[in-house]
Amino acid sequence: MTGFRIDGGTLIDRNDVRRFSFNGEALSGFGGDTVASALLANGRQLVGRSFKYHRPRGILTAGAAEPNALLTIGRDGRRDPNTRATMAELFDGLEARSQNCWPNVNFDIGAANGLLGPLLGAGFYYKTFMWPAAFWEKVYEPLIRKAAGLGRASYDPDPGYYEKCWAHCDLLVIGAGAAGLAAALTAGRAGARVIIADEGAQLGGGLLAEGSPIGGKPADAVLADIVGELHALPNVEIKKRTTVFAAYDDQVFAAVERVQKHLPEGAINPHLAMERLWRIVARQVVLATGAEERPIVFGGNDRPGVMMAGAMRTYLNAYGVAPGKRVALFANNNQAYQTAMDLEARGVEVAAIIDPRTCPNIRYDGKARMIAGAMVRDTAGRKAIKSITVRHDDGRDEVIAVDALAVSGGYSPIVHLACHRGGKPAWSDEHVGFMPPENTDGMTPCGAVAGKIGIVDCFAAGGAAAVKALAELGVMGDAATLPGVAQGDATVDHVQPVWSVSSTKGKAFVDFQNDVAASDITLAMREGYDHVELAKRYTTNGMATDQGKTSNVNAIGILAENKGVSPGEIGTTTFRPFYTPVSFGALVGASKGMEFQPIRKSPLHGWAERHGARFVETGLWYRSSWFPKDGETFWRDSVDREVNTVRTKVGICDVSTLGKIEIFGADAAEFLNRVYCNAFLKLPIGKARYGIMLREDGFVYDDGTTSCLGENHYFMTTTTALAAGVLTHLEFCAQVLWPELDVRLASATDQWAQMAIAGPKSRDVLAKIIDEDLSNEAFPFLAAREVSMFGGRLKGRLFRISFSGELAYEIAVPAGYGDSVADAIMTAGEEFGIVPYGTEALGVMRIEKGHVTHAEINGTVTPADLGMGKMVSAKKDDFIGRVMNLREGLVDPNRPTLVGIKPKSASDKFATGSHILKPGDPVSLANDQGYVTSMCHSPTLGHAIGLALVKNGPSRHGEEVVIWNGLAGTTVTGILCDPAFVDPENEKLHA
């Protein structure tokens, strides 16, 4: 037996029996237990196998730093691998499994790795598996992956809800031990907005494990008083189960709150987050994160039953769990003696206290035998410790039978959050640890993280830290008076550093989780990797999920000792977020599945749905892409029919997603003249003009139409893709480049439902609902103005523009009426055979007409490349892109220029992205003539057509070329031609 439940335990409720399973075995614990305390109470010390050597490992700590006891908890979508048993709260029905062992934790085949030890030393990844090279992928890596690795993630979706929240406070207190509680109470009483966060299920930190009275009052009663008062303060927000895991710029702290992870499945509220990711904006911070007890590096220090002295005390006092029946303590400091005293007080035999200090400056009143000036050099026992070997100061060895060993090698302040923004901790010989950096803006470390010892001193430090932080905020406050405060001088310990036991026999581990032994670190040094950052990466010390919380300082100490320098000269590795692992669920928050990103819906979405539209995602928009009719099973059946109907009759298409920008101001015309490469100054009221916008580097940015709707009032449309980009660009021009111009911009995309009505019958359809004369004379091509509709019942904006090449209009109506107007147009168009058409048909028709989109405007083309060089104004003094557009390289006649392309044989097909070669040239990009930018099947022509950018294209119409699909390895003979396959004379457009 290595562990058992005894009386007491301030955290557990013995009336609340909770059943759980460990590796399939039914066990039970109590409410308030962690999985670790429940396992110990059931005598289960062996909980897992180590990463590299598969050595038996037990529970080392009682908190966040746990390197060994990583379990997989839960099943299916709620399975959490690599959960620290020391942090997981026990609930009824919990299922826990060991990791990294096969077939089971007691008999693990991988333990044979222990025999391969010499091969797996420092840098083994770089040395052992190098040759032959081909073996890496096929043999070594799969083997390593199978043997190593920790828990496995579930493939099932997590059914839980996760979310993110912002929080704001005057003072953030991180850690609710004695110092943090005193700080929160002080600031809370002063009226400040306080958030106090602690990773534990209960506030209290070290107070929860305190067995002795404070100021004559039981520790749990003192704690209850403080927590009660904090709860009563409306300006104090208490966040339990909340780990502040990162400190970011501008005093933003990230924290994860485990809201429901401690509940059995049946008790989970599906509407409440499982975990909540907090971003806390704090004006001031009190850092009260405490200190981490360090292990001592000696032979067999990883055997189950070896435990941190402070953790043993926590299990004893907070959970009523004794670690064994006969325990020894190996410690180099005074604080750890408290564990021995508490063990004896609770009736557990302490066989010996082994203290490396020759004259420990402490009086021990217990029964335990004191062995000064001695070290533990080895342990024995197969799956749990049975004895220790003590090397006395006279060189004599003594074997002492024990079933648990408490270890304490000193205390490392938990400085992470003080260092995330680049601060370096400073070594202190006095405290034998790295202290938080000074000058951490807005952050005051206090309590054990600042080297304070004992509850009473920490109370005082917390109060003082809060007073200091409040003063920064301009708030007066008095340090909260708490029991036992004001005892005179600060408590001091006398820690004697023991970085590794020189008489060690067997493997002495520094990093338990990554199986890094002291010998690995000295080997790394011998091989030249003695810089702390290099040693870390070469040995993997501190690189596991625990990030070296129990190992980093010992590794630094070993490096320092071997180099004969102070640990301060070695320095630490870099502290980066996160302090402890954070689940992907919390990081993702609500953004998953259909909520991955917002959906933008056109005002005609419902109308399109009623007509059976298939939708395509375009950015965030859902656009109707085609409208299958009964009997159409293949998308092209629908698209071909839609195209044919528009070309011969009439169709209606939702173009509401095009960007729309209202432009006002006395200088609006001048502004447009500067942002478009073609002339806009003289655009008359009631007219639309096609415009090309360049980037300042001379390439085309976007195209669209802009209409003049009134004096100093213009209406610009952009492509759907660049709606936001164009507005941002115009804002840059208006605000940064020419703030002296009076130009005002407003996005109006969402105000209008806009429909294209295209086809030879489009005028006839619209004449039925628009109250005005639509004849070619009264409303010619590129007319644009407000019109009265439905006998004066509605006003809309009508534009005679065409993307399809047909006689066409775009009508915009206030979005709420879009649905009704689209229905009215369908009704009015019924006699003409109107159909709805989608973006696919739109795409086919624009290729047939030789119109470009962003398939051609791909960031590498000039207006001349698109056959629109003549549009670029030679008269205007200045416009965006004017100078760079004239660069030598951009006016080269040999540049790839827009052409049409079709297969020589009508039955041949080709693909977008195919390259163009001259017939007879070897198939190679070295002979590249250009590439296909767009292609489709043209129902109008009955064969495939495409647009391409080809060197000196316009002079090569009629030339036979090879269309090479390098991916498929196929070639087709094609013919270059005019890009306007349909109506090159624009007769339909002007009909």
Partner 1 sequence: MRDYPLNNRCAFPHPDASGAGASINLAPVKDGFVFHVLGDAKSDEAALRQALAKVAPELGDDVRKSSPGQWFWVGSIAVSDVRLAEIQAALTDTFALVDQTHGRLRMVLSGPSSRTVLAKGTMVDLSTDLFAIGQSAMSQIGHIGAMITRVEDDSFELIVLRSFAGSLWDELQHMAAEFLTG
Partner 2 sequence: MSSLVKCPHCGLRPKEEFTVRGEVATPRPDAGAEEAVWFDHVYLRDNPRGEHREYWHHSGGCRRWLVLSRNTLTHETSEVVDASTLKTGGAA
Residues that bind partner 2 (CB under 8 A): 166, 248-252, 279, 281, 421-422, 696-697, 724, 727-728, 731-732, 735-740, 877-878, 882-884, 887
Of 227, 403, 406, residue with least CA distance to 315: 406
- CB of residue 245 vs partner 2: minimum separation in angstroms? 15
Per-residue x/- track, 936-955, partner 1 (CB under 8 A): --------------------
832 near partner 1, judged by CB under 8 A: no
Q: CA 343, CA 327: separation in Å to the nearest integer?
A: 8
Q: CA 49, CA 303: separation in Å to the nearest integer?
A: 11
Give the binding range for partner 1 (CB under 8 A) out of 130-138, 350-358, 469-477, 815-823: 815-823
Q: Any idea of the CA torsion for 112, 115, 121, 124, to the nearest 10 degrees?
A: -50
Taking the least distance from each CB to partner 1, the nearer of 269 and 481 is: 269
Taking the least distance from each CB to partner 1, the nearer of 543 and 748 is: 748
927 near partner 1, judged by CB under 8 A: no
Per-residue x/- track, 607-626, partner 1 (CB under 8 A): --------------x-----
Contact in structure between 404 and 383 (CB atoms under 8 Å): no
- CB of residue 744 vs partner 1: minimum separation in angstroms? 4
- CB of residue 792 vs partner 1: minimum separation in angstroms? 10
Q: 790 contacts which partner out of partner 2, partner 1, none, CB within 5 to 8 A by kind? A: partner 1
Q: CA 208, CA 240: separation in Å to the nearest integer?
A: 14
Touching partner 1, residues 276-335 (CB under 8 A): 279, 281
Q: 781 contacts which partner out of partner 2, partner 1, none, CB within 5 to 8 A by kind? A: none
Q: Which of 744, 876, 937, 990 binds partner 1 (CB under 8 A)?
A: 744
Taking the least distance from each CB to partner 1, the nearer of 124 and 817 is: 817
- Cβ neighbours of residue 897 closer than 8 Å, sequence gap 6 or more: 864, 865, 866, 867, 949, 950, 951, 952, 953, 954
Give the binding range for partner 1 (CB under 8 A) out of 24-32, 514-522, 639-647, 813-821: 813-821
Per-residue x/- track, 495-524, partner 1 (CB under 8 A): ------------------------------
Per-residue x/- track, 243-282, partner 1 (CB under 8 A): --------------------------x-xxx-----x-x-
- CB of residue 735 vs partner 2: minimum separation in angstroms? 5
Give CA separation, 847 vs 534, 844, 900, 929, 986, in Å: 59, 5, 9, 21, 15
Taking the least distance from each CB to partner 1, the nearer of 659 and 805 is: 659
Contact in structure between 535 and 521 (CB atoms under 8 Å): yes
Taking the least distance from each CB to partner 2, the nearer of 7 and 878 is: 878
Q: 49: part of which helix (H) or strand (E)? A: strand 46-49
Using DSSP, state whether 416 is helix, strand or coil.
helix
Q: 411: part of which helix (H) or strand (E)? A: strand 411-413
Q: Which of 712, 719, 952, 971 binds partner 1 (CB under 8 A)?
A: 712
Using DSSP, state whether 623 is helix, strand or coil.
strand
Two structure tokens written together for 26? 């039914």
Q: Which of 130, 492, 681, 746 binds partner 1 (CB under 8 A)?
A: 746
- CB of residue 712 vs partner 1: minimum separation in angstroms? 7
Q: 835: part of which helix (H) or strand (E)? A: strand 835-836
On the 0-12 / 13-18 / 19+ scale of CB atoms within 10 A, 634 is: exposed
Q: CA 198, CA 848: separation in Å to the nearest integer?
A: 66
Taking the least distance from each CB to partner 2, the nearer of 273 and 743 is: 743
Number of H helices, E strands in the chain: 23, 50
Q: 697 contacts which partner out of partner 1, partner 2, none, CB within 5 to 8 A by kind? A: partner 2
- Cβ neighbours of residue 836 closer than 8 Å, sequence gap 6 or more: 608, 611, 613, 624, 627, 642, 651, 652, 653, 654, 826
The torsion angles phi and psi of 524, rounded to 5 degrees, stand at: -60, -40
Q: 618 contacts which partner out of partner 1, partner 2, none, CB within 5 to 8 A by kind? A: none
Two structure tokens written together for 506? 């067997």
Task: Give percent helix, percent strand, percent coil of the chain, each to the nearest 5.
Answer: 25, 30, 45
Taking the least distance from each CB to partner 2, the nearer of 888 and 985 is: 888
Q: Residue 728 CB: number of other CB atoms within 10 A?
A: 11
Give the binding-site size for partner 1 (rule: CB under 8 A). 61
- CB of residue 421 vs partner 2: minimum separation in angstroms? 7
Q: Which of 636, 713, 876, 990 binds partner 1 (CB under 8 A)?
A: 713
- CB of residue 816 vs partner 1: minimum separation in angstroms? 4
- CB of residue 29 vs partner 1: minimum separation in angstroms? 29
- CB of residue 597 vs partner 2: minimum separation in angstroms? 13
Helix orientation angle between 178-189 and 219-232, rounded to the nearest 10 degrees: 30
Please report, as a single letter, which amino acid is at residue 447. G
Taking the least distance from each CB to partner 1, the nearer of 600 and 937 is: 600
665 near partner 1, judged by CB under 8 A: yes
What is the b/e burial string over 239-267, where b = at least 16 CB atoms within 10 angstroms of the residue's CB? bbbbbbbbbeeebebbbbbbbbbbbeeee
157 near partner 1, judged by CB under 8 A: no
- Sequence length of the chain is 991
600 near partner 1, judged by CB under 8 A: yes
On the 0-12 / 13-18 / 19+ scale of CB atoms within 10 A, 541 is: buried
Two structure tokens written together for 286? 């009190």
Q: Which of 28, 120, 129, 164 binds partner 1 (CB under 8 A)?
A: 164
Q: 973 contacts which partner out of partner 2, partner 1, none, CB within 5 to 8 A by kind? A: none
Give the binding range for partner 1 (CB under 8 A) out of 115-123, 147-155, 161-169, 571-579: 161-169
Q: Which of 597, 858, 924, 986 binds partner 1 (CB under 8 A)?
A: 597
Taking the least distance from each CB to partner 1, the nearer of 21 and 751 is: 751
Contact in structure between 503 and 377 (CB atoms under 8 Å): yes
The DSSP secondary-structure symbol of 490 reads P
Q: 819 contacts which partner out of partner 1, partner 2, none, CB within 5 to 8 A by kind? A: partner 1
Q: 924 contacts which partner out of partner 1, partner 2, none, CB within 5 to 8 A by kind? A: none
Q: 600: part of which helix (H) or strand (E)? A: strand 600-601
**Four-residue CA torsion sign, 188, 192, 197, 201:** positive
Contact in structure between 676 and 686 (CB atoms under 8 Å): no
Give the binding range for partner 1 (CB under 8 A) out of 108-116, 404-412, 646-654, 824-832: 824-832
- Cβ neighbours of residue 876 closer than 8 Å, sequence gap 6 or more: 673, 679, 882
790 near partner 1, judged by CB under 8 A: yes
Q: 749 contacts which partner out of partner 1, partner 2, none, CB within 5 to 8 A by kind? A: partner 1
- CB of residue 827 vs partner 1: minimum separation in angstroms? 7
Q: What is the contact surface with partner 1 in residues (CB under 8 A)?
A: 161, 163-168, 193, 269, 271-273, 279, 281, 590-591, 595, 597-603, 606, 621, 662, 664-666, 712-713, 739, 742, 744-746, 748-752, 768-769, 790-791, 793-795, 814-821, 823-824, 827-828
